[in-house]
Amino acid sequence: MTQSAPTLDLAWEPLEPQAVADLLGAAPVRWWLSGGAALDRWLGEPIRDRRNIDASVVLADLPQLIASLPAGYDAWAVRDGEELVPFAEAAEGDEIQPVLVRDTGKNAWVLRVNVEDGAPSAWVYKRDPRLMLPWDRAVLDLDGIPTGAPEVQLVWKALRPRPEDDADMEAVVPHLSAEAKAWYERCILSIHPHSSWAIHVRSPLTPAKASWNRPRRR
């Protein structure tokens, strides 16, 4: 019997990070855990409950990633922000974001794949290509699972942070290295200066306390 097409309202049964790694392990392309799940994994504990789980891949590698999915899973593209179509039916040039992976046996979404940008040597911020970071800093190997660096995930969340994003930021920022925190703060000020998070970075009354304004130790 042919299974009916899913909807965006289909229930979620998100995979655990190791299960994501197992699911995508056969892919011959770079992918990485992203979003809140990446923050939780980097921190070593969950910050809050999450409805779904994210992985990311650059656009050029997306077809190979989806083609590597094992039997029992299918992929659906969110086209132009609202229309859900089978990934195979998405035309070249369509604006696809994100791609949802369904466990057909459970008839539930299990993974959201975000489409990001990148160059051979660096991750590139999709919203502003001036922002780049070498791949070995943008994607970390955490116990064998490629995981987006926390400062990168926070920059994604900074555009229009929700209360739950505030919780993520407040949990993660105190644990960033000096280098990662300075990079994050420079990005907020240059890329998302109108974000509510910029207020905490700008420190207008005591600018010397902002890590981006501290002289480097020699």
Whole-angstrom Cα distance, residue 65 to residue 15? 17
The CATH number covering residue 191 comes to 3.30.460.40
Please indicate, yes or no, if residue 98 is contained in any of the structural domains. yes
The total number of structural domains in the chain stands at 1
In a domain, 12, yes or no: no
74 domain residue, yes or no: yes
Tell me if 50 is assigned to some domain: yes
What does the pLDDT read at residue 203?
Answer: 62
Q: How far is residue 188's CA from residue 194's CA, in Å, rounded to a whole number?
A: 9
* Residue at 4 is within a domain: no
Q: Is the pLDDT of residue 208 over 80?
A: no
Residue 113 within any structural domain of the chain:
yes
Model pTM score: 0.89
How far apart are alpha carbons 56 and 36 in whole angstroms?
Answer: 12
pLDDT digits over 123-158, tens only? Answer: 999 999 999 999 999 999 999 999 999 999 999 999
Q: Is residue 2 situated within a structural domain?
A: no
Range of the domain at 206: 17-213
What local confidence, expressed as pLDDT, does residue 117 receive? 97
Q: In sequence order, what are the residues at sequence separation of 6 or more whose Cβ sits closer than 8 angstroms to the Cβ of residue 137? A: 149
53 conformational bin, left if phi > 0, alpha if psi -120 to 50, beta if neither: beta
Average pLDDT over the chain, rounded to whole? 91
pLDDT > 90? residue 216: no
86 in a structural domain: yes
- Give mean pLDDT, residues 162-178: 97
Q: What is the pLDDT of residues 43-73, one digit of tens each?
A: 999 999 999 999 999 999 999 999 999 999 9
| pLDDT for position 201 | 85
Which amino acid does the sequence have at 33?
L
